Homo-oligomer: A and B are copies of this chain.
Amino acid sequence: MSTPKLTPTSYLVLGLVAQHGPATSYDLKQLVQSSIGYFWPFPHSQLYAEPSRLVEAGLLGEVQEPGGRRRRRFSITAAGRSEIRSWLGQPARQPSEIRDLGLLQLFFGALSDSSTVVELARAQRDAHLERRAGYEALKEDVAQVADAHALATLELGLRFEKLAIRFWEGIVSKPPGTPTPKKRRGRDPGRLPPR
Contact = CB atoms under 8 A, between A and B. Distances in A.
A163 B111 CA distance: 30
B103 A39 contact: yes
A145 B147 CA distance: 48
A64 interface: no
A87 B107 CA distance: 13
Given A148-B176, A176-B151, A36 B104 contact: yes
- Chain A contact residues: helix, strand, loop or mixed: helix
Nearest to A131: B95
Interface string A73-117: 000000000001101110111111111111111111111100011
A95 B127 contact: yes
A57 interface: no
Contacts of A100: 39-40, 92, 96-97
Interface string A136-158: 00000000000111111101110
Contact of A110 (B19, B40, B109, B124): B19
Contact of A124 (B39, B91, B131, B155): B91
A129 interface: no
A98 B101 contact: no
Interface of A: 8, 11-12, 15, 18-19, 35-36, 38-41, 84-85, 87-89, 91-112, 116-117, 119-120, 123-124, 127, 131, 147-153, 155-157, 159-160, 163-164, 167, 171, 176-177
